[in-house]
C-alpha cells in the first residue's frame, strides 16, 4: 500500500508513473536512479508491501552532508509535480511467489490514484535475441492497446522497433507466437495485467548482458528521453552534446571495496 | 539485562531451514527463537532477544505479530546487530579497517544524535533489522539501528565492548547501571557462555 511521507496523500491525477522492472543487469532500476537524481525529485511516500526483501540505507541521492542521513527503504515513490511525473523505485528482489501479488497491488494503486499512464523501464537477456534482433538496435517498446490509441503516432515518428513475438515454446516447431521477455522479471506480468485491466502502459526495454550496466542505464533513459523529453541538452548550440545525467552518490564501489595493498 | 530485573512475557516461534530445533510446538525458553522481556521497574520497556535467523518471507508477519497492524506512535525502537566486516564497502581495503566499529541508521522521527557515525552509502542493511527499521520509517516511529562490523565469526568480548557507546545513549542509559564496571561484568558473562572449543583438550 502507498503510505505518504507527509500527513496527506498527494494528488497524482493524470501523472505519468515511471517504474523499473527488476530485470537483467538491474538496468531499469539504474535508469530510474538516474532520473530521480538528475531531476532532483522529492520523496513523497513508500509503497509498503510484504512482496520485496527488506533493505535500508541512507539517502542514495545525497548531495551534501545535510541530506545524507535520510533513511531510504526498498520501495519509495518520488514526484516532480511540475512535470506531472511520479516515479517508483524498487531496490530489492521479490520474495518467492510474491511478484504477482505485487503487480496486482501496484496496478490497483495506479487505478485508485488516477495516474494517466505507466512506463516500465526494463531489460531482457541479450543472448536470447534472434538473428534479426542481433542486427538491429537493442531497444524495444511495447504498448498496451489502450496506450496505443494515444501515443502510436508519436512512437511511429521516432522509428522505434516494437518487441517481436517469438515462439511460446521455442523447442516446438508449431508453437504459437507470443511476447516473451526472458530476464525481464515482472515486465511480462505487468504488461499482461495492464492489457486485461485496460491500463495505459508502455514498456521500454534494452537487450543487455550482466556486467557494468551503467552505460545500458544511460542509453535506456536517453531512449525514454527521445519520447518524453524529460531532460533537455545543457547547451542549445550543441546538437551532439551528452545529456546532463547526474550520477547518484550511491553508485560507488559497485564492484566491491578497495583492494588490500599486500595483494600486489 | 544484567542491570535490571526482567520478566519473560512472550516469545515468537517460527521455523525455517536455518533453525536448529525441529520441534516448534514444545519449545522450551532456551529453545524459543525470539524471547520478549519486560522491565519490572518500568513496564513500558520491552526487550527482544532474537537468537535465530528470520527468513525474508517471515519478516513481515513477524513485524505484524510483534508491533501489531496498528503502529503505536509513542514508542521508540533501538536495534542492535552485527555484521562481518567484509560486508562493509569502503574505498580502502577492509583489512585496514579498525574493526570492530559501530555504524548507525535512524528513522526520520528519531531526533536524538546517534552515538556513532551514520552508515555511509553505498552500504545497506538487510534481514530483520532492515525490516524493523523500514516498518518504523514508514509508520513514523522513532527508531535507531546500531550495527557493529566485526572481523570474528563468534561472540567475543572485543565485539561486545564495541557497543559500549550505545549504553550511554539517551535511549539506553537509564537502563544500564555500573557503566564503568561494564568491562568486568561483560567478562564474567562471556566466560559463562563460552563453549570450550579447544580441540587439544
B21 pLDDT more than 60: no
More reliable by pLDDT, B71 or B135: B135
Coil, strand or helix at A245: coil
Q: What ipTM was assigned to the predicted interfaces of this complex? A: 0.90
Count interface pairs A-B at CB distance under 8 A.
Answer: 102
Q: Residue B143: exposed, middle, or buried by beta-carbon count in 10 A (0-12, 13-18, 19+)?
A: buried
Instruction: Report the interhelical angle of A214-228 vs A145-157 (nearest 10°).
Output: 90
Q: Which of residues 74-113 of A touch B (CB under 8 A)?
A: 74, 95-96, 98
Coil, strand or helix at A88: strand
Query: How far apart, in Å, are the Cα atoms of B76 and each of A244, B59, B140?
Result: 42, 19, 10
Task: With beta carbons under 8 A apart, name residues in chain A contacting B90.
Answer: 253, 257-258
Global pTM value:
0.88
**Distance linking the first and last C-alpha atoms of chain A:** 51
Q: What is the pLDDT of residue B199?
A: 52
Question: Over chain A (264 residues), what is each successive 10-residue block's mean pLDDT?
Answer: 92 96 96 96 95 95 82 96 96 94 96 96 95 93 93 92 88 87 95 95 97 96 94 61 82 83 77
- Confidence category of residue B194, pLDDT binned at 50, 70, 90: very low
> Cβ–Cβ of A68/B121 closer than 8 Å?
yes
Coil, strand or helix at A157: helix
> Cβ–Cβ of A50/B61 closer than 8 Å?
yes
> Cβ–Cβ of B93/A260 closer than 8 Å?
yes
DSSP string computed for chain B:
-TTS-EEEEEEE----TT-S-S--SS--TTT-SEEEEEETT-TT-EEEEE-S---HHHHHHHHHHHH-SS--TT--EEEEEEEEGGG---SS-GGGS-SSEEEEEE-TT--SPPSSPBPPTT-EE-HHHHHHHHHHHHTT--EEEEEEEES-SS--HHHHHTTHHHHTSTTTGGG---GGGHHHHHHHHHHHHPPP--TT-
Task: With beta carbons under 8 A apart, name residues in chain B contacting A259.
Answer: 93
B185 pLDDT more than 60: no
> Cβ–Cβ of A62/B121 closer than 8 Å?
yes
> Cβ–Cβ of A56/B130 closer than 8 Å?
yes
How far apart, in whole angstroms, are the C-alpha atoms of residue A31 and residue A104? 23
- B101-117 b/e with 16+ CB inside 10 Å = b? ebbbbbbeebeeebbbe
Return mean pLDDT, chain A: 91
Q: What is the pLDDT of residue B197?
A: 47
B4 Cβ contact list (under 8 Å, min separation 6): B39, B40, B41, B175, B177
| Span B22-55, pLDDT tens digits | 555 555 555 557 888 888 888 888 888 887 888 8
Q: What is the pLDDT of residue B193?
A: 47
Chain A contact probe: residue of B137, B139, B144, B146 with most A CBs at under 10 A = B137
- Greatest alpha-carbon pair distance for chain A in Å reads 63
CB atoms within 10 A of CB A152: 11
Instruction: Report the interhelical angle of A187-196 vs A99-112 (nearest 10°).
Output: 50
Task: With beta carbons under 8 A apart, name residues in chain B contacting A96.
Answer: 57
How far apart, in whole angstroms, are the C-alpha atoms of residue A7 and residue A4? 7
> Cβ–Cβ of A57/B122 closer than 8 Å?
yes
Query: How far apart, in Å, are the Cα atoms of A167 and each of A46, A122, A181, A205?
Result: 38, 21, 12, 19
| Span A173-188, pLDDT tens digits | 888 889 999 999 999 9
Q: Residue A235: exposed, middle, or buried by beta-carbon count in 10 A (0-12, 13-18, 19+)?
A: exposed
> By the 8 A CB rule, do A250 and B122 touch?
yes
Beta-bridge partner residues of A94? A52
- A93-125 b/e with 16+ CB inside 10 Å = b? ebbeebbeebbebbbebbeebebebbbbbbbbb
Q: What is the pLDDT of residue A103?
A: 96
| Span B82-141, pLDDT tens digits | 899 888 998 877 777 787 899 999 999 998 888 899 999 899 999 999 999 999 999 999
Q: Lowest-pLDDT range, B73-77, B82-86, B112-116, B172-176?
A: B172-176
Coil, strand or helix at A229: coil
B10 pLDDT more than 90: no
Q: What is the pLDDT of residue B93?
A: 76
- Confidence category of residue B200, pLDDT binned at 50, 70, 90: low
The verdict on A48 touching B (C-beta cutoff 8 Å) is: yes
Instruction: Report the interhelical angle of B56-67 vs B127-138 (nearest 10°).
Output: 50
B64 pLDDT more than 90: no
Query: How far apart, in Å, are the Cα atoms of B34 and each of B6, B37, B114, B133?
Result: 15, 10, 26, 17
How far apart, in whole angstroms, are the C-alpha atoms of residue B126 and residue B121? 14
Amino acid at each position: 500500500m502507498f503510505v505518504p511521507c507527509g500527513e496527506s496523500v498527494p494528488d497524482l491525477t493524470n501523472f505519468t508513473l515511471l517504474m523499473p522492472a527488476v530485470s537483467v543487469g538491474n538496468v531499469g532500476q539504474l535508469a530510474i536512479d538516474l532520473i530521480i537524481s538528475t531531476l532532483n525529485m522529492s520523496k513523497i511516500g513508500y509503497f509498503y508491501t510484504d512482496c520485496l526483501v527488506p533493505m535500508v540505507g541512507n539517502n542514495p541521492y545525497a548531495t551534501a552532508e545535510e541530506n545524507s542521513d535520510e533513511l531510504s527503504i526498498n520501495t519509495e515513490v518520488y514526484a516532480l509535480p511540475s512535470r506531472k511525473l511520479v516515479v517508483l523505485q524498487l531496490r530489492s528482489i521479490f520474495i518467492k511467489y510474491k511478484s504477482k501479488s505485487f503487480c496486482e497491488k501496484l496496478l490497483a494503486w495506479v487505478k485508485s490514484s488516477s495516474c494517466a499512464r505507466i512506463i516500465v523501464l526494463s531489460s531482457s537477456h541479450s543472448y536470447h535475441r534472434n538473428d534479426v534482433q542481433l542486427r538491429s538496435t537493442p531497444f524495444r517498446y511495447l504498448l498496451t492497446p489502450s496506450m496505443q490509441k494515444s501515443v502510436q503516432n508519436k512512437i511511429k515518428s521516432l522509428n522505434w522497433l516494437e518487441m517481436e513475438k517469438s515462439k511460446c515454446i521455442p523447442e516446438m516447431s508449431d508453437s504459437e507466437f507470443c511476447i516473451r521477455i526472458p530476464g525481464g522479471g515482472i515486465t511480462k506480468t505487468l504488461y499482461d495485467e495492464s492489457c486485461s485491466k485496460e491500463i495505459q502502459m508502455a514498456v521500454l526495454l534494452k537487450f543487455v548482458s550482466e556486467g557494468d550496466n551503467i552505460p545500458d542505464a544511460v542509453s535506456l533513459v536517453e531512449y525514454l528521453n527521445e519520447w518524453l523529453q524529460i531532460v533537455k541538452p545543457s547547451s542549445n548550440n550543441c546538437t551532439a552534446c551528452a545529456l546532463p545525467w547526474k550520477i547518484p552518490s550511491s553508485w560507488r564501489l559497485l564492484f566491491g571495496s578497495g583492494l588490500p595493498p599486500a595483494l600486489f | 539485562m544484567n542491570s535490571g530485573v526482567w520478566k519473560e512475557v512472550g516469545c515468537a516461534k517460527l521455523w525455517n531451514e536455518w533453525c536448529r530445533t525441529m520441534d516448534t510446538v514444545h519449545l522450551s525458553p532456551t529453545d524459543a527463537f525470539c524471547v520478549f522481556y519486560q522491565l519490572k521497574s518500568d513496564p513500558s520497556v520491552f526487550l527482544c532477544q532474537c537468537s535465530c535467523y528470520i527468513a525474508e518471507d517471515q519478516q513481515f508477519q513477524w513485524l505484524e505479530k510483534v508491533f501489531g497492524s496498528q503502529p503505536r506512535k509513542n514508542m521508540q525502537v533501538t536495534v542492535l546487530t552485527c555484521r562481518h566486516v567484509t560486508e562493509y564497502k569502503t574505498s580502502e581495503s577492509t583489512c585496514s579497517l579498525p574493526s570492530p566499529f559501530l555504524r548507525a541508521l535512524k528513522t526520520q522521527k528519531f531526533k536524538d544524535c546517534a552515538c556513532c557515525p551514520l552508515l555511509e552509502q553505498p552500504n545497506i542493511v538487510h534481514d530483520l533489522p532492515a525490516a524493523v527499521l523500514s516498518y518504523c520509517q514508514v509508520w513514523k516511529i522513532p527508531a535507531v539501528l546500531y550495527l557493529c562490523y566485526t572481523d570474528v565469526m563468534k561472540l567475543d568480548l572485543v565485539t561486545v565492548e564495541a557497543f559500549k557507546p550505545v549504553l550511554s545513549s539517551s535511549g539506553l542509559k537509564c537502563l544500564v547501571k555500573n557503566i564503568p564496571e561494564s568491562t568486568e561484568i561483560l567478562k564474567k558473562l562471556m566466560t559463562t557462555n563460552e563453549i570450550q572449543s579447544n580441540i587439544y583438550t
